[in-house]
Amino acid sequence: MSTKLDRRIKYTQMVLKESFMKLLKQKPLTNITIKELCELADINRSTFYSHYKDLYDLLYQIEDGIIEDMNQTLSSYNYTKNEEAIQMTEKLLEYIVKNSESCQTLFSEHGNPTFQKKVMMLAHQHLLKSLIQDKHFIPVNIEYLSLFIANGSIHLVQHWLKNGLKESPKEMAELMINLATKGLSSFQQ
C-alpha cells in the first residue's frame, strides 16, 4: 500500500512542478496564484498545501533539486586536467539540455535571480577549488578570476538556452573552457 501511496505523491508533485513551470514560463511568480496552478494541474488546493507551504516553497524545492544535481556532477571530476574540465562542463550542459524547459524558465527574466546567483556561486566554488590547485595563478587574483569565469559562463548558458541550444553541449563546453583558460586569444588566428 505504501508504494502505491509513494507513487501518487511523486506523481502529484511532478504534475504540480510541471504546471508551475508552464505558468512561470508565461509570467513572473508574483502573478501566479495557487488557484490557477491547481486548476492547471487538476488538483485541489488542499492537495497543494499537503505538499508545499506556498508557491515559493515549490519554487525553492525545484531550484534546490537542480542545484543538488549540479553539485553532484561538479564534485565527481578532477579539475586540474583540462580534458576532465571539458567533460565536466559538457555533463553539466547535457543536464541543462535534458532539463532545458525548467532551466530555460529558471534562467529567464521570470526566473528567480537568487537561483541564478546560487548557480553562479556553486560554479565559483568549484572553479576556485580548481584554480587554487593550479600553480600558474597569483593567489590574490584567483577569486576575481573565478567570479569572472563563473559569471561569464552563466551568461553564456542563458544566451545558449534563449537561442534554442543550437550548439551541442560539447561545442559549448569547449568554448567555455577555451575562454576560461585562454581568454580572447582563443579567437585569434
Domains of the chain and CATH, by start: 2-52 (1.10.10), 62-187 (1.10.357)
Q: 48 and 34 in contact (C-beta within 8 Å)? A: yes
pTM for the model: 0.77
2: exposed, middle or buried (Cβ count in 10 Å: 0-12, 13-18, 19+): exposed
pLDDT tens for each residue of the chain, 189 residues long = 566 668 888 899 999 999 999 999 899 899 999 999 999 999 999 999 999 999 999 999 999 999 998 888 777 766 555 566 777 788 888 888 988 888 888 888 778 888 888 887 887 677 666 656 655 555 557 777 777 887 888 888 889 988 989 999 999 988 888 887 777 666 666
pLDDT, position 136: 59
C-alpha cell at 171: 561545442
pLDDT, position 178: 81
Q: What is the CA radius of gyration of the chain?
A: 19
Residue with grid cell 550542459, as numbered in its chain: 93
C-alpha cell at 7: 507513487
Residue 38, CB half-sphere, CA atoms under 13 Å: how many? Answer: 15
Q: How far apart are CA 154 and CA 129, in angstroms?
A: 18
pLDDT, position 113: 81
The DSSP symbol for 33 reads: -
Q: How far apart are CA 123 and CA 180, in angstroms?
A: 13
Residue 118, CB half-sphere, CA atoms under 13 Å: how many? Answer: 18
pLDDT, position 64: 92
99: exposed, middle or buried (Cβ count in 10 Å: 0-12, 13-18, 19+): middle
CA 91, chain centre distance (Å): 12
Q: How far apart are CA 85 and CA 145, in angstroms?
A: 16
Please list, residue by residue across 108-134, b when 16 or more beta carbons sit within 10 angstroms of its beta carbon and e when fewer do: eebbbeebbebbbebbbebbbebbeee
